Amino acid sequence: MQEKLVKIREEALAKLNAADTAEALNEIRLAYLGKKGQLTEVLKGMRDVAPEDRPKVGEWVNSTRKAIEDKLAAVQKEIGEKALEVRLKAETVDVTLPAKLPRIGHRHPNTIALEELERVFIGMGYEVVEGPEVEYDYYNFEALNIPANHPAKDEQDTFYVNDKILLRTQTSPVQVRVMEKKKPPIRIVAPGRVFRADDVDATHSPSFHQVEGLVIDKNITFSDLKGTLAQFARELFGQDTKVKFRPHHFPFTEPSAEMDVSCFKCGGKGCRMCKGSGWIEILGCGMVHPKVLKMSGIDPEEYSGFAFGIGLERITLLKYEIDDMRLLYENDERFLKQF
């Protein structure tokens, strides 16, 4: 038995000395130390050894196993070091090369348009305020002269949390909240995200952004509204921009209007952008309804005001001549890098 173990040991050590790859080492390990290896076969034959000789035979087997395992570990380390040395030579790094610059992001086109819009109104003395996106039905509809079962609700059917709480359909609720807490004079713009149950296409999305404006003071007239929005249009689209107001209806303003601007692409001559009309619809506006003032705690006999609502995405699409609103939200770097 001892002679057999000595032979196994010498064969294993000789093969280990000749091994030069990790695969060869693994084959040797399995051949001698694996479940079907030669040392395992010797241990299986221990039942044929006399009981008094088993301790000594077990000691020989363990000694042989340790010698093979120690040599296996030494050769494995040596092969690993050689492989690392070869890899390091092959992967030489030229430290004199310039490093890769970090990728730095920039403002989204919506953000650029919003900051420019805010700059215009701040320059005219307005304050920028924000409000909650999850809003009470009262502020989103009732306080804006849109009671339960009003037809205007159908046009703004939205996402309800329960029968009294919903995702706001407009930023107009911010105006009501400001009127409740602050006495006139009031001059604010309220930007923010709004939600409506619209299908996604080139000009619609269930989530988009609005900028609402509100002015409340004594002796405010429609002329003040027209002058303010005309100045806004000139600041945003160029000093030659003209404006046109068309009668419209909004429940929270009376009278109400839609405002068009002369096409800044063709100067009003007619082109693809303005669909040949020379005019582009830009926003809705009107004088604040006396009932809205009264519900917010402001005396309509003493104060009057105007309000307007601008779709931020519409401004962005027009300003940068983008023909599909979905591009703003697809996070395609090839598109966003242009701004």
Per-residue pLDDT of the chain (339 residues; tens, 9 = 90+): 667 777 777 787 888 788 888 888 788 878 877 777 777 777 666 666 667 666 776 777 778 778 888 888 888 888 888 888 888 778 777 778 788 888 888 889 999 999 999 999 999 999 999 999 999 999 988 899 888 877 767 666 678 898 889 999 999 999 999 999 999 999 999 999 999 888 888 888 888 999 999 999 999 999 999 999 999 999 988 888 899 999 998 889 999 999 999 987 777 788 877 788 889 888 999 999 999 999 999 999 999 999 999 999 988 988 888 888 888 888 888 888 888
What pTM was computed for the model? 0.66
165's CB contacts (< 8 A; 6+ apart) are: 134, 135, 136, 137
SS3 category, 279:
strand
Q: How far apart are CA 302 and CA 13, in angstroms?
A: 106
Closest CA to 212 of 242, 168, 161: 168
Q: What angle do CA 201, 203, 208 make, to 5 degrees?
A: 95
Query: Residue holding tokens 């006139």?
Result: 184
Question: Cα torsion for 21, 22, 25, 27, to the nearest 10°?
Answer: -100
Give the pairing type, strands 186-195 and 127-128.
parallel
SS3 category, 258:
strand
